[in-house]
Structure 1
Amino acid sequence: MRTSRDRARRHTRHFLRWARAAAPVHLCADVDMTRVERHRAAARTADGRRFSRVSYLLHAAGRVVAVHPEARALARGGLWPRTVPLPVGGPDGVTAKLALDRTAPGGERVVLTSVLPRMDTATLTEVQTWVDRCRDGDPQSLPGAAAVRLLTRLPPPVGEQAFRLGLRAPAARAQRMGTFAVSSLGHRAVDVFHSYGGTAVTFCAGRTAERAVVRDGRVTAAPVMRLGLTFDHRVLDGAAAADVLDGVVKRLEGWYGDLSGTRGEPRDRAGLRPTGAGDRARGTLG
């Protein structure tokens, strides 16, 4: 007997069947969130603004993915496999698919997704505005909600074909699935998890907790987030994926700038603040 929950999760089942072709591999790194937490506290003190940790991750990942073409590509072909770069120069720039734990109209708890535009150029405030809309707004008004509603109404075989056809063109793939994906379980007692979001790289944020870290040869406590990265091995190799993860870790650990999170940032080619190789955040916010 089919239930309303079965209908509400049809889009998830379509995605899971489509995603079986991927070759996911998982990496993980600890992120010292000291500077991010200080930045969050300063924003609350200055004018009551609340920035979520997911917003910092989206902000950092969007800029790193933008300069790594292999992290914003997709696998195509069967007998003649190839990789195809996703477009970046359009009005939406680098897009991010954000997974959300929401309640469907019938009361069922389901995972919904929304695609956020311009993650390579948006300010932290703009990113947070998108996140707030996705987290607190009407699930029926989320970008892509109309397509999800259509998939839940179609008979499963027809819906699955519609899902696959809707992702064939690279431009449509970036618009509907995102250039990269982000998922978070940081609001629960989850340290590490890995998921595949249908993109070349998917970032998975666990909780931020006080952990022992070594600074200048001394053990101290610091807020640390365990950040997972799932990459599709059909699209990029481990060394390239490690470069992407390392870039995001450095951006988060070296967070700096004013409360917008973007003005006046010095950049090198990778969009990172110029520092010595292997430097980690120390001292107070600059």
Structure 2
Amino acid sequence: MTRQDTARADRARRHTRYFLRWARAAAPVHLGADIDMTGVQAHRAAASAEGRRYSVVSYLLYAAGRVLADHPEANATTAGGIVPRTLRYERVHAKLAIDSGSADEGRRAVRVAVLPDVDRLDLAGIQQLVDRYRNGAAEDLPGAEGVRRLGRLPPPLGQLAFRTAVSSRARRAELLGTVAVSSLGHRRVDTFHSYGGTAVTLTAGRIAEVPVARATRVAVAPVLRLGLTFDHRVLDGAAAADVLDDLALLLEACDAALPGGWDAPQRRSGDRPAHQGDQSGRPVAPRG
């Protein structure tokens, strides 16, 4: 890589550095749970047979939209300095981190796009946005011009501009979303955690075939390790655990016979049948 290429790559990552400096004020705490993805995988296969493709991350976004809408205390942010406050959002906007290319090109970077109103989109609508942001030109992504402007500013001014932009609660939701989702499922990654600047950040690794307990027998099922990082300034551990549990219940309730995998785009997590314990499948032992 030439010096010019290095300088270009450095400018492209300046906004990430500005975000990381701003995010140092957070108090991230990490949780995790194993999710039986049998229903999701069956739904994906049924959709594929009909010529429709759904990525795993779209199911995560769908579930996140429904569950965060059902838990407004988690769809929130912190504000204020000397007198801190917690402010709730009325809509759920999801920030999605997207791998932008091969490392062999020497310019690998992560695209970040905010998908608005995921609590009101059906699975097909979410997949359309994911495909648009993943396959479209980087300069066409929402917020791309703002990122370029930050890259052109001298670092001290760029940092100030970033902090000024996210100081507004409404603007912060547009730039960072109200929930963040990141996946490394394309590699042999079982578990990772990150903080996306929101009260709740969801992280997903690969789906692996592992033994699970089903009533009185042991079966092999596709299991996803779902990570949840919550900002302790906004949310307490018990509330965050409720969010993670509802995400697990909703994903495990996915049914290939139902539109969208569930029953309707407007469904909320509280409408689901009660969890059936080991009937739904739980890993017998943690994965190595």
- What TM-score, normalized by structure 1, do the two folds share? 0.90
Q: Separation in 2 of the partners of 1:171 and 1:110? A: 27
The one-letter code sitting in structure 1 at the alignment partner of 2:211 is A
Matched with 1:24 is 28
**Are the counterparts in 2 of residues 63 and 271 from structure 1 also a CA contact under 8 Å?**
no
Aligned residue runs from structure 1 range 35-184, under 5 A: 35-46=39-50, 48-86=51-89, 88=90, 93-103=91-101, 108-184=107-183
Q: Is the 8 A contact 1:35 1:281 kept in 2?
A: no
Q: Give the match's secondary structure for 1:79.
A: coil
For structure 1, which runs of at least 5 residues remain unmatched after alignment?
Answer: none
Q: Distance in 1 between matches of 2:83 and 2:277?
A: 39
Cα offset, 1:31, TM superposition: 0.3
Structure 2 CA distance for partners of 1:45 and 1:74, relative to 1, 3 Å: same
The answer on whether the counterparts of 2:121 and 2:265 sit within 8 Å (CA) in structure 1 is no
Aligned to 1:8: 12
Aligned partners of 1:155, 1:265: CA distance in 2, in Å? Answer: 45
Whether the aligned pair in 1 keeps the contact of 2:40 and 2:261 (CA below 8 Å) is no
**Whole-Å Cα distance in 2 between the matches of residues 40 and 75 of structure 1?**
37
Paired residue type of 1:20: R
CA distance in 1, matches of 2:240, 2:9: 36
Write the distance in 2 (CA, Å) between the matches of 1:163 and 1:264. 38
TM norm structure 2: 0.89
Give 1:274 shift: 2.3
After superposition, the C-alpha distances for 1:54-74 in whole angstroms (9 at most, x for unaligned) are 000000011100121221111
Matching residue of 1:207: 206
Please state if 1:260 is matched with 2:260. yes
**Residue 162 of structure 1: SS of its match in structure 2?**
helix
Q: Any idea what the Cα deviations from partners look like across 1:132-169, whole Å, max 9, x if unmatched?
A: 11111111101111111111111111111111111112
1:235 to 2:239 alignment: no
Deviation at 1:107, TM superposition (A): 5.9
Query: Aligned in 2, Cα 1:201/1:133: closer, same or farther, shift over 3 Å?
Result: same
Runs (4+) of structure 1 moved beyond 4 Å? Answer: 262-267, 276-280
> Equivalents in 1 of 2:239, 2:276: separation in Å?
17
Letter in 2 for 1:51: Y
Letter in 2 for 1:25: V
How far apart are residue 271 of structure 1 and its match? 4.0
Name the CA distance, whole Å, in 2 between partners of 1:39 and 1:140. Answer: 33
- Work out the CA distance in 2 between the residues paired with 1:128 and 1:139: 18
Cα gap change, 1:35 to 1:172, in 2 (>3 Å)? same
Unpaired segments ≥5 residues, structure 2? 282-288
Q: Identity of counterpart residues, as a percentage?
A: 59
